[in-house]
Structure 1
Amino acid sequence: MKAIIFDLDGTLIDSAPDIHAAVNKALAEAADGELDFETVRSFIGNGVHVLIDRVIAARSLDEGRHAELLEKFLKHYDADPATLTKLYPGVQDAVETLHGEGYALGVCTNKPEGPTRAILEAFGIDKYFGAVVGGDTIGVKKPDPAPLLAVKEKLGARVAVYVGDSEIDAECAQKAGIRFALFTEGYRKKEIDDIPHEARFNDFDMVDTIVTRMADAI
């Protein structure tokens, strides 16, 4: 069995608008002002706990308020995580095509598993993914390789290709010994050439050709 495993935020979905909205609702509820979109977008990728750490630092708030703000953020975000979020163009067709070609598909993300599954279901693509591991599923997050390896194991895959958008995903794949394809239109913080990858793309119409070539070469 060959598997294609995807990151979520910045790879399958552009979720920054909903995350930004939930952050500002949490801050407003606590009378702590707000943050602009690009600032919050730059905080995405290391999981929700790091997101809140960065929000606290950006607003110069007391670090002891982390639990309070995390609770408020999750309350607003979990209420409807797919209001402003969109699939990147071509994702639906790419996922359907790969599934139809017999690949086992999975998701490995630092987003908590609950909202991850809710988002996949909201877009009607949850049925294509045989395994989902979120940032709270096994107790460790990317770039630790354990979540990615857990998805591969759950899928029963002999070989796998990981598709992500960031240096975090690249490091995770490298540590797991899994080939990595970089989606260049997501939330990366480093320049493309500074992120280790074996293939890269900016259009999901290219995914089938790229990952098939990568999987067949293993």
Structure 2
Amino acid sequence: MGNQSIPTGNYKFTVRTKRWAKFLVNYIGEKLRGLDFSMVYVGELQRNVEHYHGYSMTDEKEMRRILGTVPLEPAKTGFIDLGCGKGMCLKCAAQMGYKKVAGLELDQDLLKMGRRNMEKLKLNAQVIYGNAMEYSDYDDYDLFYFFNPFGPPVFEKVIEFMLESQERRNRDIWAVYNHPVSGYLFEEAGFKVKLETFDDSRGFSVRYYLLPKRKNS
């Protein structure tokens, strides 16, 4: 699909009103349970380090739809969220029965929030402190999720790690990219676009990439 423009959001008044109303309901419900997923967060890291973006939660209903769309059996699938923030996607994957669930987060404050949420919910999901430019322990994972967490230089390194991981453990690798601004990098690396959906409430597309299992292994 190339380096094309990506919708940046849906600014219709009715859509924004519904989104804010939903946010308030979720936020109040979370506070009553001692959780924190919904509130947008931009910390010192995102303000001062180029190519690292702020946190915005993937809607729970949307995430469950995404996970249900990928043609993988949860009980046999490792899931990782790169730039997992407060852990909503980890919550969904763990509750849907994924074999292994983990998220990578570089921001210390978000890391603490994510770990606290998982502990509060008693979910078997690991929130790992790490820099995506350095972390390369991907062999246990089959499904990678990105909500546009960083810029092209970081994505290039992450994709390199994913390719190397397939060399070590040959399997289908799925990459789901929400708001795929740098999606062309996956295509240039040999990932195939299998599906693209659109979230009207956010105005973002979600692209599903597959790096097929190598035949000669």
TM-score category by the smaller chain? 0.3 to 0.5
Instruction: Give the TM-score normalised by structure 2.
Output: 0.39
Higher helix share: 1
Instruction: Give the TM-score normalised by structure 1.
Output: 0.39
